[in-house]
């Protein structure tokens, strides 16, 4: 827990020094997602819902360092099983995948 916090703090400082980090909440990360259409994760949308860095990092999404943003290997099966985005997008904390494909996938 302590170490995770330090990692996040360190990454924030790196971001402030001005490297081209794709860092939420100000940035977005795109996942290709194949024929369903790409999925854009918006840091701002999530920050505006009151979510803090620690809600996602590093338990749900580990930090892998500059240049590796968006490299998490996410599958729809994982999400439906309550992992990655599905930790929250399960119909309880946030909208569930079922009937909401187009909220995440845009052609
Ligand atoms: C709702 C979940 C969520 C919240 C809240 C969130 N992030 Fe992220 N963040 C992500 C996702 C998803 C990625 C992409 C992960 C991947 O593909 O490996 C990411 C990626 C990153 C990366 C690049 C990761 C890497 O591997 O180098 C940094 C840096 C980062 N976030 C910093 C932050 C900071 C700082 C905050 C708080 C201000 C924050 N994040 C809040 C979900 C979140
Ligand atoms: C909460 C956001 C979200 C919702 C809602 C969502 N998806 Fe996804 N989906 C993703 C993400 C993220 C990926 C991984 C993309 C990547 O890594 O390229 C993905 C990947 C996929 C893939 C690529 C292959 C695979 O199995 O991983 C398919 C197909 C897919 N989704 C179908 C669907 C369908 C059908 C629905 C509606 C029933 C849906 N998705 C709803 C976020 C979502
Ligand atoms: C820590 C919890 C959490 C995680 C993890 C998370 N989300 Fe969300 N997300 C939320 C909440 C809360 C909302 C707003 C409530 C709602 O719309 O149901 C939201 C809203 C959204 C929206 C709606 C944006 C809009 O325009 O209204 C999209 C798209 C989305 N998330 C995609 C994703 C994707 C893709 C991932 C994984 C890469 C992800 N989320 C991971 C909690 C989370």
pLDDT of 6: 59
Nearest-CA residue for atom 11 of ligand 3: 94
Q: Kindly state the tokens that stand for 46.
A: 């999530």
pLDDT reported for residue 72: 86
71 CA from centroid of ligand 3 (Å):
18
Task: Show the CA angle centred on residue 97, arms to residues 87 and 52, nearest 5°.
Answer: 35
| Dist CA 64 CA 98 (whole Å) | 30
Q: What is the Cα–Cα distance from 83 to 88, expressed in whole angstroms?
A: 9
Query: Would you say the CB of residue 33 lies under 6 angstroms from ligand 1?
Result: no
Ligand 3 centroid distance, CA of 46 (Å) = 6
- Average pLDDT per run of 10 along the chain, which is 107 residues long? 58 46 70 94 93 93 82 94 98 97 97
Q: Is 27 in the pocket of ligand 1 (CB under 6 A)?
A: no
From the CA of 34, how far away is ligand 2's center (Å)?
9
The predicted pLDDT at position 64 comes to: 83
Position 41 scores a pLDDT of 94
| Residue 27 confidence (pLDDT) | 85
In angstroms, rounded to a whole number, what is the distance separating the alpha carbons of residues 25 and 71?
Answer: 17
Can you tell me which atom of ligand 3 is nearest the CA of 94?
18
């Amino acid at each position: 827990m302590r170490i995770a916090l330090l990692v996040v703090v360190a990454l924030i400082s790196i971001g402030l020094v001005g490297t081209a980090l794709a860092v939420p909440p100000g940035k977005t990360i795109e996942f290709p997602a194949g024929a369903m259409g790409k999925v854009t994760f918006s840091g701002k949308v999530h920050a505006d819902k009151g979510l803090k860095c620690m809600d996602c990092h590093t338990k749900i999404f580990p930090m892998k360092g500059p240049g590796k943003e968006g490299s998490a290997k996410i599958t729809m099966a994982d999400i439906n099983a309550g992992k990655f985005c599905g930790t929250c997008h399960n119909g309880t904390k946030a909208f569930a995948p079922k009937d909401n494909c187009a909220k995440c996938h845009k052609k």
